[in-house]
Structure 1
Amino acid sequence: MNPSYKASLPDQVLKWVLRSIDACTAIRSVERLYGGTSSLVYHISLENGQGVQSFVLRLFNNQEWLHKEPDLALHEAESLDWASWHGLPAPEMVAFDETGRECGWPAVLMTKLKGSVVLSPQQEESWLNELAEILVHIHAVNADNFPWTYFSYNDPDDWELPNWSRFPKRWGIAIDYVKSSRPESRTCFIHRDYHPANVLWTQNTITGVVDWVNACRGPAGIDIGHCRVNLAQLLGVKAADAFLTAYQTHAGSAFHYDPYWDFVSLIDFLSGPPKVFSGWKALGVSGLTDQLMAERLDDYMAHLVGQIS
């Protein structure tokens, strides 16, 4: 064991990693990665006669999530394979422990991509344009035979008007709109959690997209809507609109915009009073407050309602 470890993992996990790659390889370092909120993620460096290799290990330790979706490790492994087979900038799957028999928790071991997350871009317009262009490439992938299908995280019957909002009646309009009939849409491969904290950059160019555990067959609009509501909170409504415009430019006639998916994505955030996403804080974002998040969600909702009124 190398004393340069920055984080510790149980011996059984480290032994599984070595067996999965090369038992003759030495572990150089283990470092906890922050930014995600639903699992434990580590950067593991291995060294052999050919040099140093970097991998990412995800341990699914969230019992509530596992109870709802016990196949999380299998799902991410299949998603990574699907993305790689179709030439998307995703990590390559190395090994997975579906049930946790080897690691104690279900686990996925994958290659580590180059790049870092950028959440405060110096050139916002080009940054948004790149975010949109990569998402268009993801949605160009056919997913007819992919085993997982999109479903809504929340039950419409459970939605209530937010007591923190400045415009509760307008939220009522938004909720009623989503409760109306779901529009028909083209089905494609979707990431299902596409937002800036899951995108890696090197010198103003995207080098990878990570966190594919929720990928599935579904409507492109839900990916766009999820990214837009994240952008609205992180940077404001103008950034969310600029992203949509860029996506429409790159997708052309292959995409038909329907605000329904923006409303679905927005209302998914109504599980409680708005808070600054802890992943943003872990990745160095400062200056945001819970109050600002509530104001920006209100502003974004009012903007969307204005489009259908």
Structure 2
Amino acid sequence: MGSDEDTESIRTDLDGRGWGATRSWVERELSGAEHIEKAVRLRGGWTSEMRRLDLHGPGGRRSLVLRSFVKPFFVRHAEGLLTREASVLRLLGDTAVPAAALVAVDATARYCDHPSLLMSLLPGTVRLDDQGADGRAELLARQLVRIHRLPVTARQRPRVYQAWASAGRVTPPAATGRPGLWQRAVDVIRRDPPAHQGCFLHRDFHPGNVLFTDTDDGPRISGVVDWVETSWGPADLDVAHCSTNLALLHGVPAGMRFADRYVTAGGTLAEDGTDHLYWRLLDALGFAPDAEKVAVPWRELGRVDLTASVMAQRLEGYLESLFDRYA
């Protein structure tokens, strides 16, 4: 989940009710005589609460990021999610992938008020505006290829991917005028997954989970965040998830171009178009029936144009385009 600093007056310091134990835990993890000067709520995610902690000590100032699961659903799954993210951050520390450095984790809230993970602050911001989206998509494709090429041992290999949709659970939007399109899409995933070559997947790779900074040569990726769903599976699935998000964020053509960008960057996808279509629809159907839910954090970051009707139209248009190209 990407994040951007809340511009309102912040009162979310860790002295508030329900955060005292978390503050004590964080301070025990700090070095020397460091202390928390300020906690700033970060926007752009909806699975967890994110805060930037500004620290001061004998060595000067620095900032960390605190992720805390507070919603009941995610609290129930926090042990697996945060343990996985902590493991992945340790692994990525020895690679060229721009990920945060792990500081500490309390996945079961043994010491904290809520299950929490403490990590370094990465530079950059989330960029979701349409202007410059094509150039950023090229950078996203190259970064995703690098992630998929990460060499991992059998012991380091993350869990096998979990599908976020199934034929029996898909609910088409109630207001759709195209029930046949949805049924056709559901029928495609009513099969065993295609045979595939597994690789290291981010599993939630999209523009909201990537940070950019500006250079003289244009924007560059300065960070990839939110590694709680990291998995082992087909590259097509990561490409599918980013493609769906791009279609919803910037329009159907943007989503349809991303797989080509990925292949041009050196990535490998299923040779059989029907196999690739399976992975693309498996991801897209996971956004039904209400694609607007992913727009909530995007609107917090300025994309107020992404209304419920826009998101619904783009998702159906994307399904149609997938059939036009791959069926």
Fold agreement, TM-score > 0.5: yes
Q: Which amino acid aligns with 2:257?
A: A
1:271-290 correspondence to structure 2 within 5 Å: 271-272=289-290, 274-275=292-293, 277-290=295-308
Distance in 1 of aligned mates of 2:110 and 2:32: 19
1:206-263 C-alpha deviation (Å, 9 max, x unpaired) = 10011111112122111111111111111111111222211110125x4336121110
What residue number does 2:227 align with? Answer: 212
- For 2:287, what is the secondary structure of its paired residue? coil
What residue number does 1:18 align with? Answer: 27
Shifted more, 177-186 versus 161-170: the winner is: 161-170
CA contact under 8 A between 1:121 and 1:127: conserved in structure 2?
A: no
Alpha-carbon distance, 1:67 to partner = 2.7
Which of 214, 230, 247 is the aligned partner of 1:232?
Answer: 247
CA contact under 8 A between 2:81 and 2:228: conserved in structure 1?
A: yes
What residue number does 2:4 align with? Answer: none
Report whether the alignment pairs 1:7 with 2:16: no
Which of 104, 119, 142 is the aligned partner of 1:95?
Answer: 104
CA contact under 8 A between 1:60 and 1:72: conserved in structure 2?
A: no
Q: Which amino acid aligns with 2:162?
A: F
- For 1:182, what is the secondary structure of its paired residue? coil
Q: 1:95 to 1:18 in 2, by over 3 A?
A: same
Q: CA RMSD in A?
A: 1.9
CA contact under 8 A between 2:189 and 2:281: conserved in structure 1?
A: yes
Distance in 2 of aligned mates of 1:24 and 1:154: 49
1:75-154 correspondence to structure 2 within 5 Å: 75-143=84-152, 144-145=154-155, 146-154=157-165
Alpha-carbon distance, 1:159 to partner = 2.2
Distance in 2 of aligned mates of 1:68 and 1:276: 20
Shifted more, 36-45 versus 18-27: the winner is: 18-27
Shifted more, 83-92 versus 168-177: the winner is: 83-92
Q: 1:96 to 1:128 in 2, by over 3 A?
A: same
CA contact under 8 A between 1:6 and 1:29: conserved in structure 2?
A: no
1:185-222 C-alpha deviation (Å, 9 max, x unpaired) = 11111111111011100011110011111112122111
Report whether the alignment pairs 1:301 with 2:315: no
Distance in 1 of aligned mates of 2:71 and 2:228: 13
CA contact under 8 A between 2:171 and 2:289: conserved in structure 1?
A: no
CA contact under 8 A between 1:221 and 1:261: conserved in structure 2?
A: yes
Structure 2 segments unaligned to the other structure (5+ residues): 1-8
Distance in 1 of aligned mates of 2:221 and 2:96: 14
TM-score by length of 2: 0.87
Distance in 2 of aligned mates of 1:178 and 1:238: 23
Which of 142, 157, 172 is the aligned partner of 2:168?
Answer: 157
Distance in 2 of aligned mates of 1:11 and 1:281: 31
CA contact under 8 A between 1:12 and 1:103: conserved in structure 2?
A: yes
Q: 1:305 to 1:65 in 2, by over 3 A?
A: same
TM-score by length of 1: 0.92
- For 1:179, what is the secondary structure of its paired residue? coil
Distance in 1 of aligned mates of 2:283 and 2:171: 15
Which of 22, 34, 45 is the aligned partner of 1:36?
Answer: 45
Count of matched residue positions in the alignment of Structure 1 and Structure 2: 305
CA contact under 8 A between 2:10 and 2:41: conserved in structure 1?
A: no
What residue number does 2:5 align with? Answer: none
Alpha-carbon distance, 1:151 to partner = 0.9
Alpha-carbon distance, 1:16 to partner = 1.1
Alpha-carbon distance, 1:148 to partner = 2.0
Report whether the alignment pairs 1:270 with 2:288: yes
What residue number does 2:269 align with? Answer: 255
Distance in 1 of aligned mates of 2:306 and 2:312: 11
Structure 1 segments unaligned to the other structure (5+ residues): none
Q: 1:155 to 1:256 in 2, by over 3 A?
A: closer
1:280-307 C-alpha deviation (Å, 9 max, x unpaired) = 0111112221111111111000111223
Distance in 2 of aligned mates of 1:292 and 1:84: 39
- For 1:44, what is the secondary structure of its paired residue? strand
Distance in 1 of aligned mates of 2:49 and 2:291: 25
